[in-house]
A and B are shown apart, each in its own frame.
Chain A
C-alpha cells in the first residue's frame, strides 16, 4: 500500500491512450537521438523477438519499420490494424491515428496481478475494491507513509518539480540507507516489483535509437544466448525487438551476480534507474553515452547520473536486469507454444482487428496455446479492470517528450527524503537477485512490474493501468487455466539467499500442481512466497516468528518458598479427609448381663419355688380399678357383654393374670353372655384359650354362653364399621356360623345394645382405636380396659377424661381385683412375691446404676478439671 503512488508515478510515464503528437518534437530532437533512430532502423528487422523464437522468425520476415524513429515499435505491432497492441502514445509517435481503444474488461486487471506478483492481497481485496473503490482509496491514502504521501502530492500537483526532481536524482540516490526493513517486511519484494514495473516501460518505450545503441552488445549477446536466461517478457514475445537486443547485451554471466555486489548497485542507483542498466547497461554506456559526447549536454541530469552510475555498476546492472527465465524453459517452447502473434507478426489478417496475442485475448482463442507458467497461473492473475482514465502525468509532463515523460516519473520515487529505506529495499532485492544462478526455473515476478497489491486499490492507480499498453491490458483475456504453473515456476528457489534456500521446503514433492485446479493460496511473504499450498490458508493468520518459549522455572527466594510451603500445607489440610467424631457404641457388658440374669433368675426362681408369699397383696384401690369394679357390679344378669381380645400371645401370661379375677367375678356374679372379637389375628385363639384356661371352671360353651366373632379386619375402619353395624361387619363366628341370632347375641343388633364393653389389650394404640372409633357410638355403654402394665400410662388419660369407665392394669391391678374376688383364682398372688422381688431388684439395680453413672460423671469432671 505504501507504494501505491510510486506505482502511479511509474505508470504515469506510459502516456496512456491519448494521442501524443511527437511530430512536433522532431525539430528539437537532439542529434544523438536522430542518430540512434537511424541506427535502430537498420537493426529493427533483425531481432524483434527473443532468441529462442528466432527459429520461428526465420520463417517470417521481420516487419518493415516505418520511416521514423519509432518504426521498430510499429514494426513490432505488425500492422495498422494492430494498433491496439501498441500504446496510444506510441501510435501517435508513429504518426498513425490510433484507433479508439475499446473498453477494457474487468479481467484485464488480472495482468496486474501478474505484475504485482502478490495475489494474496488481491484475493482479499479484489471484491472490496471492485465495489467500493473510493473507500479503499481512502484507506490506501491513510495507510500510506508520510514520505509516500508527500511523494504523491508532489507528483500530482507540482509538475514543475519534475525537473528539479530529475536534477536531484543523484543527490537522492546518495542518501544513506534506512534500516526500515523491519517496518516493511515486503520491502525487498516490493523493491523487486518496482524494478519489474520499470522494466517493461523501459523496454517498450525505448525508441529504436536505443536499439541502435545496443548493436554491439547485441552481437555479443547473440553469442551468449544459449547460456543466458531469458526473461519471461522475452519469452512471451511482449518485448520489442530493441529490448531483446538490449537484453542480449547483458554479457555478464549470471554467475557473476553476487550478493556482495548488489548493495553497491542499489545504493548508487534508484530502482527505476536500475531498469535501464538492467536492460541495456553496456549499451547505454558504450554506445549511446560514450559515442555521443554531446549527449551529456543535451540530456537531463538524470541521464548523466545514469551514465556515471552505470560506470560503477556495469556488471551488476546487467545482472539485475537480466530476466531469470532459464534457458531450458525459454527454448522449450514449441511452435504450438509460441503465441500466434509471435509466430506471424506480419499476418494481421488472421486476427480480427488487432494484433493482440491470442493468448491474451480470450480463453477460447488462447486455450490452444500453452502459456508460460508465470502467466498461466490463475491464482496470480486476477485483478479487476479499471476504467480508462485520463493520465495525470500527461498534463504534468506535457513539456517533455514522451520518452522523457516515461522516464521522468520514476524519479519521483526517489524525490522523497525516505530513500534510505528504499535503498535498503534495493539491497534486499539485489541480494535476492544475486543468488539467481543459471536458473532452471523461472521467476515470473522478477520480470513483472513490481508494486504492492494494496496500491491497486486506489482509483488513481486504476487510472494508471489504463495507460498501460493495450497488449498488456489485454492480458486479462488470457485463460488462466491453460497452463500448469508450478510453485517452482512462481518462485524460483535460486532467487533466495543460500541460507533461505536451505530453509525453503522441497518443492519436488509438490509436483506439477495445477494452479487452475487448486484453490490453495500462494504465499506472498517470506521465503515461501509464491508457493502454493505450503501452509494452510488462514485469514489473517500470518505467523511471523517462532513461538516464544517461556521457562517454567521460578526464581523464588527463601521467604517465597516458605510461604509456598505454608500454602501447600493449607491445601493439603483442606484436601485431607477429616475423620468424623463418633461416639463409641454402647455395648452391654457380658459380665453385667450374666450377673443381672443370674440375679433375676435366682430371685424369681427362688420365690416361685419357695412360694413363701412373704409379700402381702397391695391395699387400697385406685380410682380406675374402683370404677371398674363398680361397672362390673352394675352389669345386669345374663347381659350381653362384648369382650375384645387385642393383645399378643406373648403378653397372654400377664393379660390372663389381670383379666382372670375380673371375668371370674363377672361370670360368677352376673353370668353374662360373652361375645368375643379381636382386631388381632390371634385374638380369637387367645379368647378360646382364655375361656378354656382361667375360666374353664365356669363351663362357658361357644354358641351357648359365648360367641367368638373372631378376627375383625380393617383396623380402625373395621372397628368403626363394627361399631356402626356389628351384625353386618361380623355376621359369622369363628366356625362360620351366623351368630347374631344365637343365644349369646340375643336381642343384640347394635353396638350400644351390649351391656358392657371390655377391652383386653397390651397396646395403647389398640385402646385408643377402640376409644376413638366408638366414641360417638357407645352411648352409655360402660367401657372397661384391662391392660398390661406397659400400656396403662397411655390409657390413663382416657380414664381421666371419662372416656373409659375403669382400668385394670397389670399384675398390680389383677392382684387388687383378685382381693375383691375372694382371692380367686389366686394366680396374681402366686406371681406377686416374685413380681415384688423382681420389682425391688429392678429398683435397686436402677438405683445402683444411677449412682454408678453419677460417680463416673463426677470422676470424669474431676479429671477434666
Chain B
C-alpha cells in the first residue's frame, strides 16, 4: 500500500498545527519541538538555497570561464566578489578582521547610497508631492475624483501629516509653578496628531489581526479538510 505524499503532508501538517496550538496552555516541549524543527528546516533550506542559487551560479560558475577565456574586465568582475567574500570571512579572525573592513566599507557605502537615493526618489519626494497633489483638481479629475472628495481627502491627509509631526515636537517652556509644558497651540496639534497616530496603529493592529485570523482559519480549514478526506 503506497502512502501518498498528501497523506504524509497532511499528517505532518496536522501534528505541527497541534504542537503550535499547544502554546495555548503555555510554553511546553511540544511547542518548542515544533519551533526548533521549523527553525532547523528553514535554516537548512536557506543554506541550500544560498549555495544553489547564490554561490554556485553567481560566484563560482562564472569564475572559471572568466579566468580561462574571459577578458580582463570579466576576470576582475569574476574575482572581485570572491575577493570580497574572502575578506569578509576574515572577520572570523581578530587579527585579520581589519581586512574585512574593506569589503564591509564597500557594502555599507554602496548600500547607504542606494538606500538614501531610493528613499529620496521613491518615498520622500513622491509622498510630499502626493500630499500636495491632493489639492490639485486636475489630478483628481484624471483619477475620476470630484473636487469635494479631493479637498476632503487632502484636508484630512494634510491635517494628519501636520498634527502627527506636531505630536513629536517636544520643545517646552518651564511654567511659573515649575512644571514644563509645551506651547498651547502645539499641545492642540499634538493632541490631534495623537488621534491620527492612534488610528493608524489601530488599523495596523486590525490588519495584523485579520492576517492572523486568516491564517487561523486556513489552518482550521486544512484540519477539517484533512479529516474530511478520510
Chain A interface (Cβ < 8 Å from any Cβ of B): 593-594, 597, 600-601, 604-605, 608-609, 623, 650-651, 653-654, 657, 681-682, 684-685, 710-711, 713, 715-717, 720, 731-732, 734, 736, 762, 768-769, 771-776, 788-794, 797-798, 800-803, 809-812, 830-831, 834-835, 838-839, 842
Contacts and interface: CB of A to CB of B under 8 A. Distances in A.
Contacts of B127: 797, 801
Ranked nearest first, the 7 interchain pairs of A and B with the lowest CB-CB distance are: A772-B122, A801-B130, A653-B218, A772-B118, A789-B210, A790-B207, A789-B207
B53 A711 contact: yes
A734 B114 CA distance: 27
Contact of B209 (A653, A710, A842): A842
Nearest to B54: A713
Interface in B21-50: 24, 42, 45-46, 49-50
A681 B50 CA distance: 8
A809 B214 CA distance: 12
Given A713-B58, A717-B110, A789-B208, 7 more contacts: A651-B215, A682-B49, A684-B53, A768-B123, A801-B126, A810-B207, A831-B218
Given A681-B50, A830-B221, A790 B204 contact: yes
A790 B126 contact: no
B24 A682 contact: no
29 contacts: A653-B214, A653-B215, A653-B217, A654-B214, A681-B45, A682-B45, A716-B111, A716-B118, A732-B57, A736-B52, A736-B56, A736-B61, A762-B211, A768-B122, A771-B122, A776-B121, A789-B211, A793-B200, A794-B204, A797-B127, A800-B130, A801-B127, A801-B129, A803-B126, A809-B207, A810-B210, A812-B210, A834-B220, A842-B213
A835 B210 contact: yes
A853 B148 CA distance: 39
Contacts of B114: 716-717, 720, 773
A105 to B, nearest CB: 78
Contact of A775 (B121, B130, B213): B121
Nearest to A607: B217
A810 B118 contact: no
Nearest to B205: A790
B219 interface: yes
A716 B57 contact: no
B111 to A, nearest CB: 6
Contacts of B118: 716, 720, 769, 772-773, 775
Nearest to B157: A800
A682 B210 CA distance: 23
B119 interface: yes
A608 B221 contact: yes
Interface centre among B119, B122, B204, B216 (most CB of A within 10 A): B122
A800 to B, nearest CB: 6
Given A773-B118, A801-B127, A790 B45 contact: no
B115 interface: yes
B122 A775 contact: yes
Contacts of B219: 653
A710 B217 contact: no
Given A789-B214, A790-B210, A797-B130, A710 B115 contact: no
Given A681-B49, A684-B53, A802-B130, A793 B203 contact: yes
Nearest to B77: A728
B208 A831 contact: no
Contact of A604 (B110, B111, B220): B220
A811 B49 contact: no
A681 B57 CA distance: 15
B12 interface: no
Contact of B224 (A609, A653, A657, A803): A609
A831 B217 contact: yes
Interface in B169-198: none
A838 B217 contact: yes
A715 B157 CA distance: 31
Contacts of A762: 211
Contact of B211 (A651, A711, A713): A651
Contacts of B57: 731-732, 736
A552 to B, nearest CB: 46
Contacts of A711: 49-50, 53-54
A632 B19 CA distance: 41
Contacts of A771: 122-123
A650 B24 CA distance: 18
B129 A657 contact: no
Given A604-B220, A771-B122, A654 B215 contact: yes
Contacts of A835: 210, 213-214, 217
A371 B224 CA distance: 130
A405 B131 CA distance: 127
Nearest to A729: B58
A608 B224 contact: yes
B45 A654 contact: no
A651 B219 CA distance: 11
A657 B111 CA distance: 35
B207 A710 contact: no
A811 B210 contact: yes
A734 B58 CA distance: 12
A597 B21 CA distance: 10
Interface in B41-78: 42, 45-46, 49-50, 52-54, 56-58, 61
A182 B69 CA distance: 115
Contacts of B53: 684, 710-711, 734
B169 to A, nearest CB: 22
Contacts of B130: 797, 800-802
A435 to B, nearest CB: 84
Nearest to B228: A609
B122 A716 contact: no
Nearest to B42: A682
Given A831-B221, A838-B213, A772 B207 contact: no
A266 B224 CA distance: 135
B217 A608 contact: yes
Nearest to B111: A717
A398 to B, nearest CB: 99
A800 B149 CA distance: 13
A382 B19 CA distance: 107
Interface string B115-148: 1001101110011011001100000000100000
A450 to B, nearest CB: 83
B211 A775 contact: no
B15 to A, nearest CB: 17
A772 to B, nearest CB: 3
Contacts of B215: 650-651, 653-654
Given A720-B114, A773-B122, A790 B214 contact: no
Contacts of B143: 623
Nearest to B49: A681
Given A608-B220, A710-B49, A768-B123, A790 B54 contact: no
B203 A775 contact: no
A790 B211 contact: yes
Contacts of B224: 605, 608-609
Nearest to B26: A590
Contacts of B216: 600, 604, 838
Contacts of A684: 49, 53
B54 to A, nearest CB: 5
A660 to B, nearest CB: 12
Nearest to A593: B24
A811 B200 CA distance: 20
A258 B118 CA distance: 117
A407 B117 CA distance: 118
A52 B46 CA distance: 121
Contacts of A811: 210, 214
Contacts of A682: 42, 45-46, 49
Contacts of B122: 768, 771-775, 803
Contacts of A797: 127, 130
Contact of B208 (A657, A790, A839): A790
Contact of A597 (B24, B52, B203, B213): B24
